[in-house]
Chain A
Amino acid sequence: SSELTQDPVVSVALGQTVRITCRGDTLRSYFATWYQQKPGQAPVLVLYGQNNRPSGIPDRFSGSYSGDTASLTISGAQAEDEADYYCDSRDSSGTRFGGGTRLTVL
C-alpha cells in the first residue's frame, strides 16, 4: 500500500519526550518529510531527509527510521509544540501525505 498511516491524536506532558510515527511501505524506499501546522496557519517544514532541520527549527525536533516507519521525536515538548503534524513521502505517482497527528501538550 502507498498509504501513510499516522496516529490521529497523541498527547505529551510538558517537558517530556514524545514520538509521532508515520508508517507506510513507501518509507522503505523514500525519506519522510514532516510539517507542523497550527490552527489557521500554513504548514511549516520541520524535518526532511535522513534527519535534517531547516534553519529556525529547534534541535528538540529529530527524526529516525525503522523499516516502514518514520518517527518525529520532540525531546522536551513545549507548549508551543501543540499542533497538527503531517508526514509526507514519495510514492509511485508523486507525493502522499499521512492523515496527520494532533499533538496535545498537557
Chain B
Amino acid sequence: QVQLVQSGPEVKKPGASVKVSCKASGYNFNTYSMTWVRQAPGQGLEWMGWISAYNGNAKYALKFQGRVTMTTDTSTKTAYMELRSLRNDDTAVYYCARGGDSPDYWGQGTLVTVSS
C-alpha cells in the first residue's frame, strides 16, 4: 500500500534552515510528483509547491520562491523540502502528498517550530 513517512518534529531558531524528508513506498516513485503543503496552528492549508520525481522540475508558490528548495532522491524514494531563513510565522505542520494535481496520499505531517 502507498505510504509516505515524514521525518520527525523540528525546533529551529529564526534565521535557520530546516529540511523535511518524506520517504515513499508502495508505488513507482519516479512516476509521480510530490506536493508540499503546510498548515500553521489553527489555520488553513497553504500550498508550497511541487516537484517531479521523474525529472526534478519544481514549481514553487510565489510566496516561497527564493527561500524553498524541493528535491528528490530516486535511489531512496525520498522527497525533501528545505526552507531557509526561517521566521516565527513559519511554525507549522508541513505535509508531503503524492501527485501534483489532486494529491491522493499524504504523509503524517512534520511539525516545525520556529522560536528563539
Chain B residues with Cβ below 8 Å from A45 are 102-104
For B53-92 the 0/1 string (1 means CB < 8 A from A) is 0000001111000000000000000000000000000000
**In the bound complex, what is the Cα–Cα distance between A99 and B42 (angstroms)?**
12
Number of A-B residue pairs having CB atoms within 8 Å of each other in the complex: 51
Known: A42-B106, A44-B106. A94 touches B47 (CB 8 A): yes
Of the four ranges (under 10, 10 to 19, 20 to 34, 35 or more), the interface on chain A belongs to 20 to 34
Q: Which among A37, A88, A93 is the interface contact of B61 at CB below 8 angstroms?
A: A93
A15 at interface by CB-CB < 8 Å:
no
Nearest chain A CB to B111 CB, angstrom units: 11
**In the bound complex, what is the Cα–Cα distance between A98 and B44 (angstroms)?**
8
Q: How many residues of B contact A (CB 8 A)?
A: 22
Chain B residues with Cβ below 8 Å from A97 are 37, 44-47
Q: Which among A44, A86, A93, A94 is the interface contact of B44 at CB below 8 angstroms?
A: A86
Chain B residues with Cβ below 8 Å from A69 are none
Complex: chain B residue closest to A48, CB-CB = B102
Chain A residues with Cβ below 8 Å from B107 are 42
Q: Which among B37, B97, B104, B109 is the interface contact of A54 at CB below 8 angstroms?
A: B104
Sorted nearest first, the 3 A-B pairs with minimum C-beta distance are: A48-B102, A42-B106, A33-B102
